[in-house]
Structure 1
């Protein structure tokens, strides 16, 4: 038996019996944990707004050896994105972020870089950033941190450095290819004009990068990265239509 405390982002919740919920949390210190929030479905629940998607909380968890689910003993709300999430677009965006974190992160494996990415994305979201641009930024970095999106500097097959004016083919495994090595294999094409934007994405925080692309460029990158995510995850994303894909 163990009691654990950690900052955590709420990814999603599911109903359990008549009064409880299962909360999927991505904790800073312990990774992804599924926990029972007893009484969370009652009108006067002690959890209040703590269990909304992408709320950041300080969670106290009780784990018992051999049990699949922990118990969320109590939590303190640290930051809520509710103000902007009150719009349909904002709500869908938060669910999109939560879905990707849940899909990429295995249980009980902490990943501080992903936690920092979620926090920076949340903060930029609250500043009123363009949602397609912010979605593209988050998608790119989730692929990068998951090991699926390599550098765009050279072909992964032949090793030749890409020229500034040539497009890059991204294979279904996320590796970059030149036209000769990847042009006949399908995948996704990044035109030469978009490569500088992606390069800047890997150098800048989201609060800076979202100001660089035009709305059309941001939407194009978001659509491209969503298609790549679909290949990597081998399934459709639940939030794709609402974000313009």
Structure 2
């Protein structure tokens, strides 16, 4: 077996047998991998803490034919703040579940890993609203994976100057000439369109550097919600729990 060291973040952890754990790790070098951590649930195991979700760092694994075996890990960030904040934790669980949905084994997931890490860092920043972080993450995730909306020009004719509406069905902005036969066109605040453009076009490192008005936040939520419902088409368990928590809050 080949021993390698990868940089990544634990997305999921599940018990296996009496003492083991199976973890799913989003890595920079190998995409999404599944690894077995032998004895990780024993009280004195060095693998107990490093195999928890949110753990980010370097993982040394043996590469087998169909799976990996975790040998050791050096964790640089446990995101301990999220473990003490129920709502923040479920935002994090949802973000990891969405990353797990899109990530593939043996695929270059560098940008997705970078996005997830920066998003978890934003969650522990009290100056950025969690809802804004959610909408930014959702839109950037689908964009990284090639399913993002066209927000810089009309999807029909390519015009950049005429007034635009946003059509989920058509996958982006439509000018006033091309929108005639479209029934789902949403008229957006110019600041919302600019925000969409900033999210789609800005490097991950600079994403979480702004806030928006309540109106823009509402419109952003409407656009991303309808867009993910149409193009992702999956309900995530962690999101359902999160929405129940926020309603109770």
TM-score norm. by structure 1 comes to: 0.85
- 2:59 aligned residue: 59
Q: Aligned partners of 2:154, 2:123: CA distance in 1, in Å?
A: 34
Task: Give the Cα–Cα distance (whole angstroms) in 1 for the partners of residues 16 and 78 of structure 2.
Answer: 24
Counterpart for residue 192 of structure 1? 189
Instruction: Determine helix, strand or coil for the equivalent of 2:147.
Output: coil
Alpha-carbon RMSD? 2.6
Change (3 A) 1:151 1:30: same
Deviation for aligned residue 1:51: 2.4
1: CA distance, partners of 2:18 / 2:32: 25
Contact 1:168 1:192 in 2 (8 A): no
Structure 1 residue aligned with 2:112:
114
Q: What is the distance in 2 between the residues matched to 1:25 and 1:37?
A: 12
Q: Is the 8 A contact 1:24 1:34 kept in 2?
A: yes
Q: 1:50 to 1:158 in 2, by over 3 A?
A: same
Q: Counterparts of 1:39 and 1:220 in 2: how far apart (Å)?
A: 48
Structure 1 portions without partners, runs of 5+: none
Q: For residue 40 of structure 1, what is the aligned residue in structure 2?
A: 40
1:218 aligns with 2:217: yes
Equivalence for 2:17: 17
After the TM superposition, which of the residue ranges 42-51 and 27-36 deviates more from structure 2?
A: 42-51
Question: CA shift at 1:220, angstroms?
Answer: 4.4
Sort the Cα spacing of 1:230 and 1:170 in 2 relative to 1 into closer, same or farther, 3 A.
closer
Change (3 A) 1:189 1:41: farther
Aligned residues between the structures: 239
Q: Structure 1 pair 140/190, CA: closer, same or farther in 2 (3 Å)? A: farther
8 A contact 1:171–1:182 mirrored in 2: no
Say whether residues 1:96 and 2:94 are aligned partners: yes
Equivalent residue of 2:12, what SS? strand
C-alpha deviation, 1:185, in angstroms: 5.6
**1:54 is paired with a residue of what secondary structure?**
coil
Gaps of 5+ in 2: none
The answer as to whether partners of 1:169 and 1:187 remain within 8 angstroms in 2 is yes
Runs ≥4 residues deviating over 4 A:
178-188
